[in-house]
C-alpha cells in the first residue's frame, strides 16, 4: 500500500460473508498489525496494542485510521474481477476473456494475473488498485 510518501507492506486474510467482513492484517513476518471487522450495524479496527476505533461504516473508519477511504464494498467485487453492482463502471477486456482493467468509483483496477481457485474457476491472482495519491498492490495466494 502506498499513500503519498507513506508505504506499508502487509499480509491479509479476508473473510467476506454477505454484508459482513473481517480483515486481519499482519506484518511480512506474521505479526498481527490490526483486525478490521463489521457490517451494516458498524465497523471496528482493533490494533495489536489493544486500541479500538469504531465507526458507522468502512469509509468513515478507514478515512479516520488511514487518512483515505478503503473501498471495502467495491473491493469485495473487484478482487473477484467483477464490478460492484449498482454503480457505473468501464471494463477493458483481456485477451483471455476476463478483465484487463476495471474503472469504478474513481478507482482503476489493473489485473496482472489470474489463477484457478480450488473449483478450477479462473480468479484474479495479482492486481493493482489506484486512486489519486493511493496505490494498493494485491497478490492473492489462495481462494476458498
Question: Is the pLDDT assigned to residue 144 strictly greater than 80?
Answer: no
Q: In CATH, what number is assigned to the domain containing residue 1?
A: 2.50.20.10
Whether 96 and 114 map to the same domain: the answer is yes
pLDDT of residue 46: 93
Residue with the larger pLDDT of the pair 143 and 74: 74
Q: What percent of the chain has pLDDT over 90?
A: 48
Predicted TM-score of the model (pTM): 0.85
Same domain, 57 and 75: no
Among 42, 70, 98, where does a domain finish? 70
**96, pLDDT greater than 80:** no
Examine the pLDDT at 100 and tell me if it is beyond 90.
yes
pLDDT tens-digit map of 31-87: 888 899 999 999 999 989 999 999 999 889 988 887 888 888 888 899 999 999 999
Higher pLDDT, 110 or 123: 110
Q: For residues 12 and 53, what is the distance between their CA atoms, to the nearest angstrom?
A: 19
Confidence band of 90 (pLDDT split at 50, 70, 90): very high
Total domains, the chain: 2
**Are 66 and 94 part of one and the same domain?**
no
Give, in degrees to the nearest 5, the angle at Cα 7 between 4 and 13: 125
**Helix (H), strand (E) at residue 110:** strand 107-116
pLDDT of residue 120: 87
8 and 63 in one domain? yes
Q: What is the pLDDT of residue 125?
A: 93
Residue 62 φ then ψ, to 5°: -75, -30
**Nearest one of 72, 62, 77 to 3, comparing CA atoms:** 62
Say what percent of the chain tops pLDDT 70. Answer: 100
pLDDT at 51: 92
Amino acid at each position: 500500500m502506498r499513500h503519498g510518501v507513506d508505504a506499508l507492506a502487509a499480509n491479509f486474510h479476508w473473510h467476506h460473508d454477505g454484508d459482513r467482513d473481517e480483515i486481519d492484517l499482519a506484518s511480512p513476518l506474521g505479526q498481527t498489525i490490526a483486525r478490521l471487522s463489521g457490517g451494516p450495524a458498524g465497523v471496528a479496527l482493533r490494533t495489536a496494542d489493544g486500541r479500538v476505533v469504531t465507526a458507522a461504516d468502512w469509509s468513515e473508519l478507514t478515512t479516520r485510521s488511514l487518512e483515505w477511504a478503503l473501498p471495502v464494498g467495491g473491493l469485495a467485487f473487484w478482487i473477484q474481477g467483477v464490478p460492484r453492482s449498482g454503480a457505473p463502471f468501464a471494463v477493458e477486456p483481456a485477451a483471455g476473456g476476463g478483465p484487463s482493467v476495471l474503472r469504478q468509483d474513481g478507482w482503476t483496477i489493473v489485473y496482472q494475473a489470474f489463477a484457478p481457485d480450488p473449483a478450477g474457476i479462473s480468479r484474479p491472482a495479482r492486481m493493482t488498485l489506484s486512486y489519486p495519491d493511493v496505490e494498493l498492490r494485491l497478490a492473492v495466494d489462495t481462494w476458498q
